[in-house]
């Protein structure tokens, strides 16, 4: 039986790599995102029989409902939800931060994720499916300028673990994947600068979207009696943040 995954944020980075990895392993994928040309490229690469696209902003609940209602028969039965869509905006200290940036992160990383998850839960329970969420080490190890992004990823991490508790006895598997440095478009989106992204990852040998996608595929294809509750990944060159001390002169 061919299984079907619903992957958010599939137009780049971890999301696009996840669609490729799952399709390569024989899955069908519903790939969502805001850039139709990127979604079309996935279909051209992988085949319309393997990938169905839905172009919408995850913050738009009406568009989400329309996308779910219009799924073709072959893509209607969802076995795996990959909550990947998310972003960071700004690196200012909280006292200088842009409130619009904060709201965008909350609406995207938190509200949109819980709405989609709630809408798919009955189907995932009926099919003994799985939920894999892309959290972040930022939800556990804080850094200056992380503020709402770190808070939103702490929510992703813990909401996903709370789902694990609520879904006890249903057969649904739930995993929180919490990556460190992954070189994707993330920093370009956050800073608006390719140079800032290049500077951040230079010499680090960071993880890639393919690395995280391989982890998702491994978890998704484990025997159904095994559950990976949470998994934290970092490149070897990244370590835990240290404490800082502000000294009075």
**Which residues are bridge partners to 176 per DSSP?**
133, 230
Q: What's the token pair of residue 139?
A: 């939800």
SS3 153: helix
What backbone phi and psi angles, to 5 degrees, belong to 226? -110, 140
Q: Work out the end-to-end distance of the chain between its first and last CA atoms, rounded to an integer number of angstroms.
A: 69
User: 190 and 88 in contact (C-beta within 8 Å)?
Assistant: yes
Degrees, nearest 5: CA angle 170-171-174 = 100
- Local structure of residue 224 (DSSP, 8 states): T
Of these residues, 141, 143, 149, 201, which one is catalytic?
Answer: 149
Residue 149 bears catalytic tag: yes
Q: Which residues are catalytic?
A: 149
């Amino acid at each position: 039986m061919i299984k079907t995954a619903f992957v958010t944020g599939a137009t780049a980075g971890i999301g696009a790599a996840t669609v490729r990895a799952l399709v390569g392993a024989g899955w069908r994928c519903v790939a969502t995102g805001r850039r139709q040309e990127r979604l079309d490229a996935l279909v051209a690469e992988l085949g319309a029989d393997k990938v169905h696209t839905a172009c919408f902003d995850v913050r738009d609940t009406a568009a989400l409902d329309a996308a779910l209602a219009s799924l073709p028969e072959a893509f209607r039965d969802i076995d795996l939800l990959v909550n990947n869509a998310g972003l960071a905006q700004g690196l200012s200290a909280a006292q200088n931060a842009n409130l619009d940036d904060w709201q965008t992160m909350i609406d995207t990383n938190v509200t949109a994720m819980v709405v989609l998850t709630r809408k798919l839960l009955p189907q995932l329970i009926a099919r003994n499916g799985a939920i894999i969420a892309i959290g972040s080490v930022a939800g556990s190890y804080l850094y200056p300028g992380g503020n709402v992004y770190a808070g939103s990823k702490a929510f992703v991490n813990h909401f996903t673990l709370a789902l694990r508790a609520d879904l006890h006895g249903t057969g649904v598997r739930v995993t929180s994947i919490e990556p460190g440095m992954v070189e994707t478009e993330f920093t370009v989106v956050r800073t608006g600068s390719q140079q800032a992204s290049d500077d951040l990852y230079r010499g680090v040998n960071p993880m890639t979207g393919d690395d995280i996608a391989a982890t998702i595929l491994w978890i998704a294809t484990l025997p159904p009696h095994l559950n990976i509750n949470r998994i934290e990944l970092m490149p070897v060159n990244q370590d835990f943040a240290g404490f800082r001390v502000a000294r009075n002169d």
